[in-house]
Structure 1
């Protein structure tokens, strides 16, 4: 039995409840059916008062510093954000501006976004992959994009989105299982003979 992956789900929405949160919950649920996860959810809306004026980590309070530490120490990140005017919210980007540039190198990241129409779907590839490429994180091959038609009354209502979630979870599984096995191997090496 492998150890669960320390997973952090980051909701870049400034609203609660949000379609982004619903999408992220479903992604985590689908992946946890296939891989053992120990999950913590971080909502950007909770960090607004603490990171909005911080120019560096020295300006953060303990809560915001602990949040950054959880992100930096995660085995696996699931990051989702709404699209505003063709881009991610500035505070979501600012949160990652505060993350240590070497902390998530090589770590798998599953990317997701929500928007008002399908014309924003490429934001995942053009902005989020670029951002996590800077960190040398391992962006998983398929992301998830959803519109307001895909999520209705707090539920995933689109058959196409449900199929996409299944595909994304299946594509992520071999990578995450490999990370979990490596984590287990590293833990076993620390146990004295």
Structure 2
């Protein structure tokens, strides 16, 4: 199983901190899974110009191909101006419309206000559904008050992150089983 964690911003530290914790959970609980953390701050991704994702070069090609090869994607994003960052939207624009077909996608969101949870419901989930993702229904929402000196200090957040990883892996396994059963019906 290939799990890609995508930290969807070039600025700030909270989302990266949360994604580092999440990566640690994935590696400890599922050591056989191939896990990769893509932090957009570490890559020079060009703006989408409508080409096929395979026609790009360099970091853009690496990031898009890594996402396309994943079985599960855990997206970490901050909330900027009550929306997703442009860097994350650009990733969605670089990929084909069916990019997340047969992929499980879960979300982890950092925000300065509890009111920003609506961004996930009204913006991120519809984009992922349009791109044919199997969306983990629950997500982890982390507020400013849950951080102190680049550490997550709320134990409940740690518990929710563990549960998110478990739910993501279990959903991948469930869909694999469903596809295998469906394929067996054809008998060839």
- Sort the TM-score into its range (normalised by shorter chain): 0.7 to 0.9
Write out aligned runs for 1:122-161 (5 A): 122-161=118-157
How big is the shift at 1:79? 0.6
Residue by residue over 1:57-83, the C-alpha shift from the partner in whole angstroms, topping out at 9 and shown as x without a partner, is 367333311221111111110111110
Question: Where does residue 175 of structure 1 map in the other structure?
Answer: 171
Say which of 47, 50, 53 aligns to 1:56. Answer: 50
Q: Matches of 2:57 and 2:150 in 1, distance apart? A: 33
Q: Matches of 1:120 and 1:169 in 2, distance apart? A: 22
Structure 1 stretches lacking a partner, 5+ long: 186-193
Please tell me whether the aligned partners of residues 72 and 104 of structure 1 are also in contact (alpha carbons under 8 angstroms): yes
Please tell me whether the aligned partners of residues 77 and 110 of structure 2 are also in contact (alpha carbons under 8 angstroms): yes
Residue by residue over 1:15-38, the C-alpha shift from the partner in whole angstroms, topping out at 9 and shown as x without a partner, is 26x110111222233344443321
Distance change (3 Å), C-alpha of 1:40 and 1:167: closer
Q: Matches of 2:103 and 2:169 in 1, distance apart? A: 14
Say which of 66, 83, 90 aligns to 1:87. Answer: 83
- 151-160 vs 57-66, which deviates more? 57-66
Say which of 16, 19, 36 aligns to 1:21. Answer: 16
Question: Where does residue 188 of structure 1 map in the other structure?
Answer: none
Q: Matches of 1:133 and 1:30 in 2, distance apart? A: 26
Q: Matches of 1:70 and 1:164 in 2, distance apart? A: 26
Q: What TM-score, normalized to structure 1?
A: 0.80
Distance change (3 Å), C-alpha of 1:62 and 1:128: same
Q: Matches of 1:173 and 1:21 in 2, distance apart? A: 21
Please tell me whether the aligned partners of residues 141 and 171 of structure 1 are also in contact (alpha carbons under 8 angstroms): no
**3-state DSSP of counterpart to 2:128:** helix
Q: Matches of 2:17 and 2:176 in 1, distance apart? A: 26
Q: Matches of 1:60 and 1:95 in 2, distance apart? A: 12
Q: Matches of 1:171 and 1:65 in 2, distance apart? A: 29
Question: Where does residue 65 of structure 2 map in the other structure?
Answer: 69
RMSD: 2.6
